[in-house]
Copies of this chain bind each other. A is one copy, B any other.
Amino acid sequence: MTIGIGLLGLGTVGAGVAAILARPEGRHPLVGELTLRRVAVRDLARPRPVPLAPELLSTDAEAVVDDPAVDIVVEVMGGLEPARTLILRAIAAGKPVVTANKAVIARYGEEIAAAAAARGVYVLIEAAVGGGIPIIEPLKQSLGGNRIQRVSGIINGTTNYILSRMADEGAAYAEVLADAQRLGYAEADPAADVQGGDAADKIAILAGLAYGGPVPRAGIATEGIDRLDARDVAYADQLGFVVKLLAVAEHCGHSDDGTQQLDVRVHPTLLPRQHPLAGVHGVNNAILVEGDPVGRVMFYGPGAGAGPTASAVVADILNIAGIRQVGGADAGLDPLLAASSWRRCALIDGALSRHRNYVRLRTRDEAGVIGRIGTCFGDAGVSIQSIVQFEGSGDGAEIVVITHEVQEALFRQALAAIETLAAVESVAACLRTL
């Protein structure tokens, strides 16, 4: 049985997929049954890293989708449009879709899932999160017996590269970013990475799968690393922590109508050095899933790159090809693989979320300051794990406070009181702590 593949896009990932399909030997034998039938590209004349017969290439992406020889549509062009429209077109034609496009899925996932469910086709997205790391399929197919308590991850390689170097070299953010751009680890416009939007896209997808219902992408509190001071990375280190950009989706109970209440957010976070995610360096990604009764399981690997991402795309293609052998083209959907949503999820009010916090205060260097700061926290009902004074620049002092877990509203109330203290010059930094 030969299965025809239509590829939309022949950039880094598309070329990686084509390279796997061109050389099936040594891989799962099902790879040998996949045939690249047509490839949509923007420019026919552009040189290609993989040799492809010229008649495979087309600038007409719709024609690739519509081609009767194409059984599975693989969207690796990126961007919101025309990717979204092409995915919907494939679904309407009854063709299963594999996509690596986290932006489209994070924003139009509900529309796409509804169309796919109505038409009875799969839309698989293993490559959209975590590059080559198998995380989507395990969430769907290996953890269904669990009540998921928390999904947390380092799911943006660019920021993790920058943070790793800031920690290792004590370098400033802007300096490392510029270097990362030179080396190709960061885009010329790094906003989506460094401001946390890319990680928010991905945690929206993971949360939707882990908790069984779509999560409103726009409501995800997102803070990037673009205002992170090297000083906080250094202080964190002295206190036994590593700073990582963490994306978190946490179960916070149910409302009366059964809606799952979630706290979903992206922010720089202090991790204790022995935490499993603390050892994830450079452009690697890792996702930690905590569930009952499994406990903590972690998935680790390369979060980007042609080869890893192509591995994930081909995994999805193989899953579709494999399940075709079960019941033919008219068969029902495997509810695990199809991952239709089964409950409603809502985001909790950020003021009600609970966190441990790291706060750096710039203060005058005078007696009694720590006591007054401690009192402000105490008055708001915020209990403190540690207060440490560091030497400030100039003649002031810097005081770092790490709180125990506390409701955000109370923490903000304490900070407001602290800001009115005469001896406190500013709240210089506020980070989350695990």
Interface residues, chain A, with chain B CB atoms under 8 Å away: 16, 19-20, 26-31, 126, 132-134, 137-138, 141-147, 212, 274, 276, 279, 281, 291-302, 305-308, 310-315, 317-319, 322-323, 325-328, 331-337, 342
Evaluate contact between A310 and B145: CB separation under 8 angstroms. Answer: yes
> Given A319-B336, A325-B332, 4 more contacts at CB 8 Å?
A27-B144, A30-B144, A295-B308, A300-B300
11 chain-A/chain-B pairs, Cβ below 8 angstroms? A28-B342, A29-B342, A31-B144, A133-B297, A141-B315, A142-B315, A276-B279, A279-B279, A293-B308, A294-B308, A326-B333
A147 CA to B31 CA in the complex, in Å? 11
A337 CB contacts on chain B under 8 angstroms: 322
8 pairs of A and B residues whose beta carbons are closest in the complex = A327-B327, A293-B307, A145-B314, A28-B144, A297-B301, A134-B142, A294-B311, A322-B336
Contact A335–B322 (Cβ < 8 Å): yes
Complex CA gap A380/B322 in Å reads 51
Docked Cα-Cα span, A19 to B294, in Å, equals: 13
Q: Smallest Cβ distance from A271 to chain B, in angstroms?
A: 13
Residues in B whose Cβ lies below 8 Å from that of A16: 293
In the complex, A310 Cα to B28 Cα: how many Å?
29
Q: How far is the CA of A285 from the CA of B406 in the complex (A)?
A: 33
Indicate if the CB atoms of A134 and B145 lie closer than 8 Å: no
Q: What B residues does A29 contact at CB under 8 A?
A: 212, 335, 342
Residue from A145, A294, A327 with most neighbouring chain B CB atoms (10 Å): A145
Residue of B whose beta carbon sits closest to that of A339: B28
Contacts of A297 in B (CB 8 A): 132-134, 299-302
B298 and A28 contact, CB distance less than 8 A: no
Whether A325 contacts B335 by the Cβ 8 Å rule is yes
A403 to chain B, nearest CB (A): 27
| Distance of A299 Cα from B323 Cα, bound (Å) | 25
Report if A318-B28 is in contact (Cβ < 8 Å); known contacts: A294-B308, A297-B300.
Answer: no
What B residues does A132 contact at CB under 8 A? Answer: 293-295, 297
> If the complex has contacts A322-B336, A331-B331, are A311 and B134 also in contact, measured as CB distance less than 8 A?
no
Cβ of B293 and Cβ of A28 under 8 Å apart?
A: no
Nearest CB of chain B from residue A5's CB, rounded to whole Å: 12
Residues of B within 8 A of A312 (CB): 142, 294
Of A274, A301, A310, A328, most B-chain CB atoms within 10 Å: A301
A336 close to B307 (CB less than 8 A): no
The residue of chain B having its C-beta at the shortest distance from the C-beta of A258 within the complex is B25
Cβ contact of A332, chosen from B28, B292, B306, B326, cutoff 8 A: B326
**Contact call B20/A311, Cβ cutoff below 8 A:** no
A144 proximity list for chain B (CB < 8 A): 27-28, 30-31, 314-315, 318
Alpha-carbon distance A302/B290, docked complex (angstroms): 11
- Tell me the nearest residue of chain B to A307, going by C-beta: B293
Cβ–Cβ < 8 Å partners of A342 in chain B: 28-29
Q: Which residues of B contact A26 (CB under 8 A)?
A: 147
Whether A301 lies near B311 (C-beta < 8 A) is: no
Q: How many Å lie between the Cα of A313 and that of B281 in the bound state?
A: 33
Q: A130 to chain B: closest CB distance in Å? A: 9
> A138-B137, A331-B327 given as contacts; is B315 within 8 A of A293 (CB)?
no
User: Which of B30, B279, B335 is the one whose CB lies under 8 Å from A336?
Assistant: B30
* Complexed CA–CA distance, A343 and B123 (Å): 31
Chain B residues within an 8 Å CB radius of A336 = 28, 30, 318-319, 322
Whether A302 contacts B294 by the Cβ 8 Å rule is yes
Instruction: Tell me the complex Cα distance, A333–B292, Å.
Output: 30
Instruction: Give the docked Cα–Cα distance between A143 and B308 (Å).
Output: 10
Give the distance in Å from the alpha carbon of A335 to the alpha carbon of B29 in the complex: 10
Of A133, A302, A326, most buried by chain B (CB within 10 Å of CB) is: A326
Q: Distance in Å from the Cβ of A231 to the closest Cβ of chain B?
A: 25
A132 to B142, alpha carbons, bound, how many Å? 9
**Which chain B residue has the least Cβ–Cβ distance from A310?**
B293
Instruction: Report the bound CA distance from A279 to B144 in whole Å.
Output: 27
Q: Tell me the smallest distance from the CB of A327 to a CB of chain B, in Å.
A: 3
